[in-house]
Amino acid sequence: MTFSITIPAYKARFLDEAIKSVIAQTYQDWQLVIVDDCSPEDLKGIVEPYLADSRVEYYRNEKNCGAVDVVDNWNICLSHCTGDYVICMGDDDRLLPCCLEELSKTIDKYPELNVYHLQTEIIDESGKIIETLEERPEQEDVLSLMTKRWEGRKQYIGDFCYSRKHLNAFGGYYPLPYAWGSDDITLFRAALPSGIANVSRTGFQYRENQYSISLSHNDAEKVATVLLQREWYQKAFAELIPQGVFPKTDIQNALNSMNGFVRGLIIGHIKRDLKQGGVHKYWYWLWNYPKQVLSYLTMIKIYILSITQRP
């Protein structure tokens, strides 16, 4: 089997580390696709020394996809892939040397699946490990993936390895603004109905840093995107129930978990927006709150908290 590792790149700072982590794989049958999203930094200069290896490919977009449409660049990367399986890693992340070797063993054991998960460490800007995420069971169904995610499980787009055939059948990674929720929906779609296999050995390192899109504070846009996610989730559940794959009580519990997750995200974004932008923003949210499925009483409580908790 062959793997395509993609790096939708824009930032130069950690790109060399990301490339070296792929070059260092103990499993050698891979393709590395780097797509420069029209960066103002000299990414080609970083990549060029590695192009002597025919497995490394570099492309530059004529037009910048930008942060809002960052998933478009994920899918441009995918269009250049030739491997059986695909990993989309950030330009600041790293694969550990055993990553592809361990994945190949898991895929050999569960070849019928569309998605596989890598055990993950979170590193800081210096590369120091600051957290090792919890181990997962060898196999999981989609309902477990959903519920545990909504209950706070951390995961990232680079955690997962997908069947390229599956991704292409659905038009690639699921597009949402700023990729907020795109990784989750892409995962859940791939895990329907057969689930996922989890690699027990650590193979991926996600780098937390101040330049991450996920840390940006576009609260109104995030709330709108949360509602788009909820729309997809509701549709997925509507399709699950008639299939009889899961007991209805389990599906209802998962639905309750999803609704709590969505509501918590929306309230969190409104609180943060009020704290950062001033209480006058309350009127914006009050005007829009019916769309955010919050009660009038909840909006009053948020308003009171925004006043009492301001410095």
* Sign of the alpha-carbon torsion through 174, 149, 294, 299: negative
C-alpha neighbours within 13 Å on the C-beta side of residue 249: 0
Closest CA to 183 of 192, 191, 174: 174
Structure token digits, residue 129: 């490990």
Burial of 128 (C-beta count, 10 Å sphere; 0-12/13-18/19+)? exposed
* Amino acid (one-letter) located at 161: C
- Structure tokens that stand for 144 in this block: 């477990």
CB neighbours of residue 209 within 10 Å: 15
CA angle centred on 154, ends 210 and 83, rounded to 5°: 90
Residue 288 has a pLDDT of 75
Q: Considering only CA atoms, which of 6, 2, 4 is closest in space to residue 157? A: 6
pLDDT of residue 215: 52
Identify the pLDDT of residue 214.
55
Nearest by Cα to 73 from 221, 168, 162, 172: 172
* 37, two tokens: 């999203």
Judge contact between 92 and 209, C-beta under 8 A: yes
- Check residue 304 and give its pLDDT: 74
Binned average pLDDT, 10 residues per bin, the chain of 311 residues: 97 97 98 97 97 98 92 98 98 97 98 97 94 95 95 95 98 95 96 94 90 65 90 91 84 92 89 76 75 74 69 50
> Domains of the chain, with CATH numbers?
3-212 (3.90.550.10), 217-308 (no CATH)
Give Rg (Cα) of the chain: 20
For 293, residues 6+ apart whose C-beta sits below 8 A from its C-beta are 262, 263, 266
